[in-house]
Amino acid sequence: MEYRELGSLGVSVIGLGTLRAFDVTEESELETRRQIIENCISEKINFIDSAAMYGASEKAVGVTTEGKRDQFYLATKVRIEGKEAGEQQIAQSFENFDTDYIDLLQIHNLIDYETHLPTLERLKDEGKIGMIGVTAMVPDAYPTIMDLMRSGRIDTVQIPYNVVQREVEEGVLPLAEALGIGIMVMEPLKKGRYVKELKGEPDLSPLKEFGIQTWAQALLSWVVSDSRVSITIPATSRPERITENALSGSLGALPQELRDYVREETVRLL
Ligand SMILES: NC(=O)c1ccc[n+]([C@@H]2O[C@H](COP(=O)([O-])OP(=O)(O)OC[C@H]3O[C@@H](n4cnc5c(N)ncnc54)[C@H](OP(=O)(O)O)[C@@H]3O)[C@@H](O)[C@H]2O)c1
């Protein structure tokens, strides 16, 4: 597994997302997530992203990483309007994770970011959180994101970047590289659609020599082949996919012609 800098942390370039996949409460479902966490440890995945708005996900992360917390960096997000409501939501995140320290606290989709930034700066000064981040899903938000990057108030940015959504190549990624800001990539598989909903079977033969055996691996390799990306965080509810996805973190950068091939083959089958 390759490790890269995400702000002040050394993170596995393939991490774990938890949207939908960890929104579970039944013991049998939690047991499957425990296996996911075990497989992350075996595959040297050391970073988990959650959010206050992901239903039971934070709590499921807290329960399934119990006793193994030293193996993972934890990230979550605040998403609510108002100072007190934000403080309450953040306090709940600490409780859900069952921790007194969160490595990265992000402002979800920039919701009320001007209110939450001073709260997060105070928590960072108090040593309760390690880093401050923001997330954004739409290119309309990128000018604000870039202003925040230049302000020196944030350590990380979470954005979508995949074979189809490439807007960040223009401004966000070059600026992050220049300023040393960590880039976390959400939706590398477009919520699984670029694997599960293609019109036909992608032709993997040009990629086999590179060690790629599945289309999910091709898509993840496409993302992390950009060295400006610190980490991507595919979510899954299936333990065996941790091993499958982790492989893309140890293959190195795809040669440009193979990267182009992965993009063209996906677009052809959309
Ligand atoms: N605004 C924000 O801040 C924001 C927005 C979106 C996402 N995020 C973060 O980014 C993370 C990733 O995004 P996402 O979960 O929406 O999308 P994603 O990671 O692109 O796709 C997840 C889906 O892909 C499937 N999948 C995973 N590995 C696979 C494989 N090897 N083969 C086939 N299917 C596979 C999973 O289904 P199975 O369960 O069947 O494996 C899951 O449904 C989220 O979990 C969240 O932490 C943040």
pLDDT given at position 35: 98
* Domain assignment of residue 195, yes or no: no
Residue % of the chain over a pLDDT of 70? 100
pLDDT given at position 96: 98
Question: Mind spelling out the 3-state secondary structure of the chain?
Answer: CCEEEECCEEEECECEECCCCCCCCCHHHHHHHHHHHHHHHHCCCCEEECCCCCCCHHHHHHHHCCCCHHHCEEEEEECCCCHHHHHHHHHHHHHHHCCCCEEEEEEHHHCCHHHHHHHHHHHHHCCCEEEEEEECCCHHHHHHHHHHHHHCCCCEEEEECCCCCCHHHCCHHHHHHHHCCEEEEECCCCCCHHHHCCCCCCCCHHHHCCCCCCHHHHHHHHHHCCCCCCEECCECCCHHHHHHHHHHHCCCCCCHHHHHHHHHHHHHCC
Structural domain including 79 reads: 3-189+229-252
* Domain assignment of residue 96, yes or no: yes
Best of 54, 189, 241 to mutate for ligand 1, by most ligand atoms within 8 A of CB? 189
The average confidence (pLDDT) of the chain is 98
- What is the CA(213)–ligand 1 centre distance, in A? 19
The CATH number covering residue 40 comes to 3.20.20.100
* Domain assignment of residue 221, yes or no: no
* Domain assignment of residue 217, yes or no: no
* Domain assignment of residue 75, yes or no: yes
* Domain assignment of residue 176, yes or no: yes
For residue range 112-152, what is the model confidence (pLDDT) as tens digits?
A: 999 999 999 999 999 999 999 999 999 999 999 999 999 99
pLDDT given at position 111: 98
Are the C-beta atoms of 169 and 201 separated by less than 8 Å? no
In terms of DSSP bridges, do strands 47-49 and 16-17 run parallel, antiparallel, or are they unpaired?
parallel
- What is the CA(151)–ligand 1 centre distance, in A? 30
* Domain assignment of residue 204, yes or no: no
In this prediction, residue 242 has a pLDDT band, given cuts at 50, 70 and 90, of very high
pLDDT given at position 11: 98
For residue range 196-205, what is the model confidence (pLDDT) as tens digits?
A: 999 999 999 9
* Domain assignment of residue 216, yes or no: no
What's the total number of domains in the chain? Answer: 1
For residue range 44-64, what is the model confidence (pLDDT) as tens digits?
A: 999 999 999 999 999 999 999
pLDDT given at position 130: 98
- What is the CA(188)–ligand 1 centre distance, in A? 7
Phi, psi (deg, nearest 5) at residue 209: -60, -30
pLDDT given at position 211: 97
| For residues 76-80, average pLDDT | 98
pLDDT given at position 136: 97
For residue range 92-117, what is the model confidence (pLDDT) as tens digits?
A: 999 999 999 999 999 999 999 999 99
For residue range 204-238, what is the model confidence (pLDDT) as tens digits?
A: 999 999 999 999 999 999 999 999 999 999 999 99
pLDDT given at position 170: 93
The side-by-side arrangement of strands in the sheet containing 47-49 is: 16-17, 47-49, 73-78, 102-107, 129-135, 156-160, 182-186, 231-232
Looking at residue 242, its amino acid is I
